[in-house]
Amino acid sequence: KFKPDELKIKVKNRHIIVEGKHKENENEKKFMANHFVQRFVLPPGTKQEEVKAVLNEKRVLSITAPKHELPPPLPEREVPIEVIMPEESVVEKLEEDLKDTAASLIQTSSVTPLEQIDMEATTHVG
């Protein structure tokens, strides 16, 4: 059985940590040591700062924390996705511009059959 000064109780990250260390030296040849650590998760609705511990006359340790009413859960909502794309490299940008220029040239150019060209109206340099 552990004495009050051999017990330690901590509350950290919503956990209660109970530790006990007991050592006895009966004489130089006999030595006894007991050690334990137990962790308990604080239930939802409890506050870390309200945890209390009581060791009664029978050396029974009681740890309590009042439970508070939880707020209602938040309604479901859809989270928009922000799309982040890497910037195009200079080469990719130039290739894209070249494709656009070629496409516009093809759309504005027209082909005239040879039979429709007035050969006398063309100028020949010598």
pLDDT tens-digit readout, 7-52: 999 999 999 999 999 888 877 778 888 999 999 999 988 999 999 9
pLDDT tens-digit readout, 108-125: 656 666 666 665 655 555
The reported pLDDT for the residue numbered 121 is 58
- State both tokens at 113: 């059959």
Q: What is the CATH number of domain 4-64?
A: 2.60.40.790
DSSP string, 16-76: EEEEEEEEEESSSS-EEEEEEEEEEEPPTTB-GGG-EEEE-TT--EEEE-PBPPPPPPPPP
Give the largest CA-CA distance in the chain: 131
Q: Could you state, in order of their start, the residue ranges of all structural domains in the chain?
A: 4-64
User: 62 and 15 in contact (C-beta within 8 Å)?
Assistant: no
Better-scored residue on pLDDT, 93 or 39: 39
